[in-house]
Structure 1
């Protein structure tokens, strides 16, 4: 009976009902076993089961004609004609121009869909927080740096690409209406709600495996974007030539929410791109980064002689040339996810002078260790058995990284204990704002991994 009560509330939601009617008109087929609601869901709109659903059942089917992207918008011909002038590092400009046009057009084919997001005020990505708030709540997580990069790219893209294009077509776009602020909101909208179709493997491409295809551009998928995310999801979006289908991948009981997945994402990625987090310890994909620069700092700490300093710098220069450019070593709940890179760095940094000289003479080495063996070595089970010199570097790098989370004048231990205490105190958690809560989930999840790593590598 509770389900029926929720259904009544849905009927009072005019924008949602307009959207459902639009879905029927455009051929979007919704199973009678599910419904969309704001009640009983983890966030905003979501999908709930009206009846028990078995694995393999199709929850809804979306014809490709109902997808919103640069190829289906009313201005598609113009966007295609001038696509060479719309190239950018993100590759999103054509879709964003389409959204700028369709979102502000009263005659838009997608108006009932886009009306669900009247002003985008409910998007709460860190890019909409103040810089002071990001730096204070998210210090050490990597998010402030990522947001600064995003905002700089958005401004440059809008100023250098979008604005000149709109100026050339004043009959379709108006800078007074299609502002940088709206453009930034639409970037967040695409980040949070768009989908990318997986690349189809072509048999002919096997001969040229080194040349990677660029990813397909994002597109808006009505109804599919109503589903909330959970790492332990129960539905999955499948792509076919004619349509997209949301398919149940494990049984869903009546009254349960239907969850899609946005991919294997740690909480910092979820907050950065979608504006939310999964509560601890629910996110099985949680990760923590140790910057490569931190490992260098640890390796050079305590060096007494100029010769030893020179040796480390020579090793580091060789490592920079031998390995692909990466910003950090990534650790998950079960161990290191960038184990091959970490193995290479530790092996070289801990070489004796003679071993390093031999390495230089041979211009590298033939790797004796198999990938599977390396993976096991840097798993939680294998880390305690590492060489003492390797463990020391990992331990000190993890400890140094934890310090970067300090807030205000807190000490290392105090900062960690305050987050742990908050997570365990339901009353205190309830008093936090949504931003404070999400930031806490990110910090706590990352530090948990780092403290576990320190425990596994202590002498």
Structure 2
């Protein structure tokens, strides 16, 4: 255990945390295995408590003294009670307090640099062309949040935020650092709410704030506890689907020690459970001495692992290749609409606008996920059939408020083939190009991660296109009359991606 880890563990214990140092140790692994993490020092059984954290040691807008010093009325006025702005500002302020902060030693061991695309330059970001990562970075929203919330709040209280320390502690760059720490390491730790007498006790789950860790009810040794797994929603202000009540931003917390564990697809062997006053990291399956102790990121695809945490999973797949079993390719509904337009060029534009609006009002998806299992999401067939309905059929469907059945006939499959081909054309390299790049020993980390993300997606698209081609041929009883090949020399001189 390095000196910084030893100092952190000592601080953790001094604050009331307990850690079984006979069972686990913080150490450093190769970058491919997550970097700093925890290792089992002996064989551990399922249900073993590795460490416990008092709730007051977690770092949130509930436990930081900044909101009360700032004044809750002003806290609300500047919008610091919405999203992650308040927690980011609290983390900035606590850092500025130096040794006087309750979390000084903890803040010292948190990362100050990240391999996430949020910090990549334009050249590296270009390597992600075709993936959905760029659209999800949220740089513009982050800058807007900083300029409209944090900056006015900082300027309103020079006594709390001395201008002399603005560049060191409160700059836009530091804002990104704190936001990335929350994105990759935070947990959702709702207030403990007691039920009526005789009904037991439970935590009321609400994950809409998008903290890194999600909540999933689970029992351990007869105690009614709740586990947490890493996850983050698309917007920190987003409300849970079907829930009229917005989540409480103060539920999002940094949890010392718990955030030191690494994760890998389907390797989780420990999870965080919590009671009224403490949170416990508990083994969820036996762990052998010398093995790494893994938490979970909810088995995310590489595109999300890279965007949120700055790494990718490169594991053996069932088909004999390497990749992430959880990888998916997103096909936006707009790509499907464009595919229909290309085939049916005489359809009026308002035909598509009206039907898409109705589709969304009826709860239809605006993005369709395709994965390694090479299966069709039925909803995509329903959307295509909706767009292909005659005007009279469309009116009947709207009157009955009934979406078309997801029947994949030859015409529908041909549209899907066109949409998939369009999606594949968005990448700037071929599968062969990427496979060659991965053979190089001198590949930069950012480039390697980008190649792994886009290669997995392209291979999924390639497999789905092969399936579509076979199904179209079967539907026609022969080769399709209209064959839509992936990028070819006939399309602007670009080579095929397959």
What residue number does 1:97 align with? Answer: 89
Residues 315 and 348 of structure 1 are in contact (CA less than 8 Å); yes or no, is this contact kept in structure 2?
Answer: no
Partner Cα separation in structure 1 for residue 80 and residue 422 of structure 2: 37
Does 1 or 2 have the higher relative contact order (CA < 8 Å, sep 6+)?
1
CA displacement 1:351-395 (0-9 Å, x = unmatched) = 3455334334x343377x6xxxx7xx8xxxxxxxx3112211222
Residues 420 and 465 of structure 2 are in contact (CA less than 8 Å); yes or no, is this contact kept in structure 1?
Answer: yes
Q: How does 1:26-105 map to 2 (within 5 A)?
A: 26-31=15-20, 32-39=22-29, 42-79=33-70, 81=72, 82-87=74-79, 91-105=83-97
Residues 386 and 403 of structure 2 are in contact (CA less than 8 Å); yes or no, is this contact kept in structure 1?
Answer: no
Deviation at 1:80, TM superposition (A): 5.9
CA displacement 1:43-99 (0-9 Å, x = unmatched) = 221000101111121221111011011111132413561331242696111101110
**Which structure 2 segments of 5+ residues have no match?**
191-202, 207-240, 316-321, 473-498
The match for 1:153 among 128, 133, 141 is: 141
What residue number does 1:420 align with? Answer: 435
Partner Cα separation in structure 2 for residue 357 and residue 47 of structure 1: 60
What residue number does 1:359 align with? Answer: 397
What residue number does 2:195 align with? Answer: none
Q: Secondary structure at the match of 2:109?
A: coil
What residue number does 1:271 align with? Answer: 306
Q: Secondary structure at the match of 1:457?
A: helix
**Which structure 1 segments of 5+ residues have no match?**
1-9, 203-208, 378-385, 408-414
Q: How does 1:277-426 map to 2 (within 5 A)?
A: 277-280=312-315, 281=322, 283-303=324-344, 308-310=346-348, 313-323=350-360, 324=363, 327-334=366-373, 339=377, 341-360=379-398, 362-365=399-402, 386-407=408-429, 415-423=430-438, 425=439
Residues 34 and 263 of structure 2 are in contact (CA less than 8 Å); yes or no, is this contact kept in structure 1?
Answer: no
Mark the CA change 1:242 to 1:417 in structure 2 (over 3 Å): closer, same or farther: same
Q: 1:129 aligned to 2:140?
A: no
**TM-score normalised by length of structure 2:** 0.75
Partner Cα separation in structure 2 for residue 90 and residue 231 of structure 1: 32
Partner Cα separation in structure 1 for residue 10 and residue 115 of structure 2: 29
Q: How many pairs does the alignment contain?
A: 406
Q: Secondary structure at the match of 1:347?
A: helix
Q: How does 1:105-144 map to 2 (within 5 A)?
A: 105-106=97-98, 107-117=100-110, 120-121=112-113, 123-134=114-125, 136-144=126-134
Greater strand percent: which structure? 2
Deviation at 1:335, TM superposition (A): 5.0
Greater helix percent: which structure? 1
Partner Cα separation in structure 2 for residue 366 and residue 433 of structure 1: 48
Partner Cα separation in structure 1 for residue 82 and residue 115 of structure 2: 21
Q: 1:15 aligned to 2:50?
A: no
Q: Secondary structure at the match of 1:211?
A: coil
Q: 1:214 aligned to 2:250?
A: no
**TM-score normalised by length of structure 1:** 0.81
Mark the CA change 1:96 to 1:336 in structure 2 (over 3 Å): closer, same or farther: farther
